[in-house]
Chain A
Amino acid sequence: MGTGILGIAVSGLNAAQAGIRTTQQNIANVNTAGYRRQEVLQSSQLPQYSGYGYIGNGVALDQVRHQYSRFLDNEVLLNQSQYSRYDAAATRSAMVDKLLGGANTGLNTSLSQFFAAVQEVANDPASSASRQNLLSAGQNLAGRFNSLAGQLRDYRTATNNEIQALTTNINVLAGQIAQANASIAQSRAANGQPANDLVDARDQLVEDLSKLVDVSRLDQQDGTADIFIGGQALVLGLSIYKLNLVQSASDPAAYDPAISQQSQRYSAVMSDPTSRVVAAGVSSLVNQVSGGELGGALDFRDSVLLPALRDLDRIALVTASAVNNVHRGGLDYNLAAAGDFFANPVAPQGATTGVLNMTVTDDSLLDPVGYDIALGAGGYTVTVLSTGTATTYANLAALNAAGLGFTLAAGAPAPAVGDSWRIADTARQMDVAITSTNQIAAAGAGSTGPGDNRNALALGALQTAALLNFSGGAFTDSLGAAYNKTVNRTASQAAQADFNREAFKTLRESAVDARQSAVGVNLDEEAVNLVRYQQAYQAAARTIQIASSLFDELLNVVR
């Protein structure tokens, strides 16, 4: 009986101590990311039967449990992924937006100045000042194309590097999650109790991962969590399907994330998490990834960056070929037949001397990357650079009839077997071909003196002529209007990304608030718990004192 009294009191002391320790743990971790508040579950111990009923046997400690809501966790993961995605896309799109639309960086000013200079030559065709002005304006326009394309290509390289860094980080996190899975399964098997702090830390890793890529999770009986990217397993228990890179199908200079077809144990991935460009053994994830920073980087690359770069190349190609075709129709200051104003966009390769002059007939059919053209004994072989498809045409007439979106005409010197040309990166390569003001062809064919301006007038007409965006059997936009459409599309996408970022920012915040409201630590609440457990401890200690005095009473009686 006496031991019973002390036993109950001690169980109460223990329970109060456990409560105080758990409260202390909660207070200590108030700022720990991913920490879920813990509480002690206690129950009354199995009572003892006596003839007059059950007598209590003290308190038992059942479990230290953390607050937990899978539903709220998933809400956070989902909104976190989308917020990171649009945040990444918005930040990057804003740079391209400012680049293309800025008065000092865009194409508009240079294009207007070029055509104004053409008009000035038409006003005063023999003036060397107006010719010099046109030569400078042409160099400025080509330079603007170069720097815009150069900047966009730098962004493409930077995006490739980012995709590599992101996939490497995903591998690192996947390794850490699988490692945490291992620890959780192990401690659970050994002790039979959930390892709350390990689970919290692992779930925080999953949340960190959701910032990089949109993931879904599947919890297993042994406490491990499997992680999936768009239905494709990334982590299965202790195994990982590592992420690597493959060359993008749409652009040879861009890389897509790809997942290994073979899994590896986490330790192997953790010792070598770097994602690398590979050719086989992986499947592309470009259609599975739709969230996280990786999703945002891909969105940006595929719907903002690459289309802008391609538009710029297309506008440069049409500008150079249209200006050249008119320019060659005129006579220079000395009444000699004129050459190209801009460097021929059908660029000769190697020792090629033969000249092919291009006319764009339908820019909507042009390959986004470009073409290689080679003249062999069997005719002209055209290789489409984005697909690698090669087709040989017996002669230029056959090539021109093939509906490629452009036609070619032999210039002087005539193309010879063995010659090859490339049409690609036109904006980056654009240059002025003429070197002196005398070479500007202001005069029309058949003119007899330098006072003729018919060719300058024909060049000037290109400013407003519809030369781009072939649709419904005709070109619809001038050079300037086509560029403005590119600016507008980029701006719309950047604005959309901004809008989505704000929307998911709010959603993420409310999901985090809702989850923290359930699982987060409230210091005032812990203060109350501390007082509660302190009082329980004091009361239990008091009962020991009472048991002791009862025992003394008994001893005094028998003395």
Chain B
Amino acid sequence: MRIDSVTFFTANLSGIRDGQSAIARLNEQIATGQNFLAPKDDPIATQKILDLGNRIASRSQYAANQTKAEITLKYESTVLTEVESALKQARALIAGTSPSFDTQSRSIQAQQLRGVFNHLLGLANSQDPSGSYIFAGDMTTTRPFANAGGGVPPAGAATAYAGSAATRAVEVDVGRRIQVSDNLNTVYQAGGGAGVDLLQTLDEAIVRLPVNTPPGAIGNQATLDGYIQTIDNALNALAGVQYRIAGAQTELADLKATTASLLTVEKNALSDLQLLDQASAIVQLKTRQTTLEAAERAYAMTSSLSLFSFLG
């Protein structure tokens, strides 16, 4: 075949050019550790990478939400455990007294009960680390329970509730929400009927216990039994809330485990798609280098060929 001189001398050029650009690309891949330098390198893999990236981002956020929900619930359940023990303490104090005890004993018991009353009031007004009242419903900036105590016997001071009945849920997975706050008002007002108020009942016990004469004095055991009944009702209502929290915590623990393992699977899939197989890239680089060298050597060998060199 006849070949013209320009083609003859430049035939090697495209080989050298291809070799150089392949080596430049491999170098960039190795330097960045990325399989694809632009989406167009593999549009289908890119779509998977982007979708996986979005899923990992939102799942990571759900994992963060789960951790926060767990902390919130743990905090609330710790406070409620304190409420439970305070209620039991109050129950024991009232059960351990009697109208037949002497005034001094009853006064001391009343004082002890006042301590428990204050503790229960403080617990009901608990704030989370960022200063929000946890039992105020959605009115997190308002101190929810107010009871100054010291009612006029035979009545205790009524409790004013300034919070709302709302509870809060957070999203812990796509479309899945978990309630992270509870209404303590249902426990503190759980006397079984309207107007029965735990703190008021305790205050009544506190202000009446030291009194010796009617109408202030606690005349019979039945009155004390009534107080105990109110505390028992509150304990029952509290147990309901605690069961709910325990259930939510179990659900969260399961969900966290699932989320963590799915995240691992998705992150691995993403690395498989995205990250370069370094060993194979280096082998390719070596091969390309050899080919390029061969092309360059071939050019050096043939470029000086000319009949004119032999005529003379």
Contact = CB atoms under 8 A, between A and B. Distances in A.
Contacts of B169: 453, 457
Contacts of B236: none
A481 B3 CA distance: 55
A491 B168 contact: no
A461 B58 CA distance: 11
Please name the 6 residue pairs, one residue from A and one from B, whose CB atoms are nearest each other, closest first.
A520-B4, A449-B139, A451-B140, A101-B39, A491-B39, A494-B40
A236 to B, nearest CB: 33
Contact of B6 (A119, A124, A520, A524): A520
Nearest to B164: A448
A25 B69 CA distance: 88
**Chain B interface size range:** 35 or more
Interface in B29-66: 38-44, 46-47, 50-51, 53-54, 57-58, 61-62, 64-65
B100 interface: no
Given A108-B53, A449-B164, A484-B47, 12 more contacts: A106-B50, A112-B58, A116-B64, A122-B170, A126-B132, A447-B138, A447-B166, A461-B171, A484-B50, A498-B40, A521-B4, A523-B306
Contacts of A100: 39
Contact of A522 (B4, B14, B44, B61): B4
Interface string B274-312: 000000000000000000000000000000001110010
A464 B7 contact: no
Interface string A341-353: 0000000000000
Interface in A83-138: 93-94, 97-98, 100-101, 106, 108-109, 111-113, 115-116, 119-120, 122-127
A546 B118 CA distance: 144
A517 B4 contact: yes
B39 A449 contact: no
Contact of A126 (B51, B62, B141): B141
Given A449-B138, A521-B5, A494 B168 contact: no
B244 interface: no
A80 to B, nearest CB: 15
B65 to A, nearest CB: 6
Interface residues of A, number: 66
B136 interface: yes
* Residue from B3, B38, B47 having most chain A Cβ neighbours under 10 A: B38
Contacts of A512: 7
Contacts of A538: none
A522 B54 contact: no
B43 A491 contact: yes
A94 B40 contact: yes
Contacts of A449: 136-142, 163-164, 166
Interface of A: 30-31, 37, 93-94, 97-98, 100-101, 106, 108-109, 111-113, 115-116, 119-120, 122-127, 443, 447-453, 457, 460-461, 463-464, 480-481, 484-485, 487-488, 490-492, 494-495, 498, 509, 512-513, 516-525, 527-528, 531
Contacts of B141: 126, 449-451
B130 interface: yes
Interface SS, A side? helix
Interface of B: 1-8, 14, 38-44, 46-47, 50-51, 53-54, 57-58, 61-62, 64-65, 68-69, 130, 132, 136-142, 163-164, 166, 168-171, 174-175, 177, 181, 306-308, 311
A513 B5 CA distance: 11
Nearest to B1: A517
A543 B257 CA distance: 107
A523 B307 contact: yes
Given A31-B6, A451-B139, A460 B40 contact: no
A488 B51 CA distance: 11
Contact of B43 (A30, A450, A492, A518): A492
Contact of A452 (B6, B46, B62, B166): B166
Contact of A516 (B7, B175, B311): B7
Contacts of B68: 123-124
Nearest to B56: A112
A101 B46 contact: yes
Nearest to A457: B171
A524 B39 contact: no
B65 A495 contact: no
Nearest to B55: A480
Nearest to A519: B4
B229 to A, nearest CB: 32
B138 A451 contact: yes
B171 A119 contact: yes
Contacts of B136: 449, 451
B132 A491 contact: no
Given A108-B50, A119-B171, A517-B1, A93 B138 contact: no
Contacts of B137: 448-449, 451
